Each structure stands twice: as structure tokens, then as C-alpha cells.
A and B are shown apart, each in its own frame.
Chain A
């Protein structure tokens, strides 16, 4: 059974702080990894994708991947109240988006 695990939270951080979200996956064959943001009552929105070990930065977001440890993380710098949402981690085995496995999500609350 392929699984993606996340701490359900809520994770609370003060405005302006760094939020650190973590994810582990069980399928060593996973090749592609994604972070989605989901506001309450809305559909998931793609934030970052990462395919290689190391860091990938996009604005205030940095995704980190360590395939040996089967670990993916997302750092949000200068957190804003508008970042308050559930963050979903997903892992895919192939290059065609087939059979993505999503984690349960971590709820982030950024306090003004």
C-alpha cells in the first residue's frame, strides 16, 4: 500500500515567521513530488513540483526532497495570514501523473 504521511496539524506560526511542512512517502519508486494548497471549501492549487534531490525555490516557497530518506518538505518564508490553508503533499510514480498518492494534508494557521 503506497502511502504519503503528513502531520495533520494544525501548525500555527506568527506572521512573518517561517512555516515548515513535512511529508514522508512509502513508495521508493516515486519519482515526482508536489505540494498543493487547499483553502477551505476550494479545490487544491499547485504550488510546487520537485523531481530531484535538493532544494527548489519559487518566491517565498522552497521545496526540499531527500529520496534516500523518502522525505519531502515545504518551507514558507515570511508567512502571511493568507497562507492559512491545508497543504497537501503528493507523490507520483511515473511521468504521466498517473495514480498520484496524496497525503491527508497539514492545516497551517498564520497568526497576525
Chain B
């Protein structure tokens, strides 16, 4: 157990809808990163939040957005869902360099 929690565990949406995924970081960790992992692939970096500010972004369109709250928990929002957004969404919290992942949210877009 890493102490990182994510909700919901599974989610089914239809194309064009919007989704919000949530993450609670490990105690003492002020940095949260979000990743998308498609089946059979490694995680792809979406963005990172540090002290409530976006602190780096991968090659994802603006319809992927996020927030970090004062307690360091975080949300990932995806608008205008596309079929290719179906994936495991992972949240990782870190203090300095080592990242620890939550259990993930499996998103299916129909």
C-alpha cells in the first residue's frame, strides 16, 4: 500500500461526456502527477501539480485539465471524451524524486 487513493475504481462514459477523477496523495507528499496507461503500454505523463500549480505537462490536449487542492489532493478532468481516452488513469504522489502510484481508475468510453 502506497497511501495514495483514487476514486472511482471504474467508470463507464459515452463519447462526448465529461469525467472527473480524484486522487488523495500520500501524507507529506506535496506533488501529484497524473498518467494515462493504455492497454499493453507504459504510463504516459499527462501533467503534474506542485503546491496547487501546474508544474509540467505532457503531450495531451487542453481538454485534459486538473486541479490540486490545499490538502494536496487532486482532480483530473477530461472534457469531450473520445474513444481513445479509454485507459487506466494513474495518480502518483511524490516528495522529491520517487513517485508512488495509487490503484488507478479504469475509464471506458463507449
Contact = CB atoms under 8 A, between A and B. Distances in A.
Interface residues of B, number: 28
A25 interface: no
A105 B37 CA distance: 11
Given A4-B42, A96-B50, A99-B48, A49 B90 contact: no
B108 interface: no
Contacts of A96: 31, 50, 55, 94, 96-97
Contact of B96 (A43, A97, A101, A103): A97
A34 B92 CA distance: 14
Chain B CB within 10 Å, residue with most, of A42, A88, A96, A104: A96
Interface of A: 4, 32, 34, 36, 42-46, 49, 88, 90, 92, 95-105
Interface of B: 2, 31, 33, 35, 40-45, 48, 50, 55-56, 58, 88, 90, 92, 94, 96-104
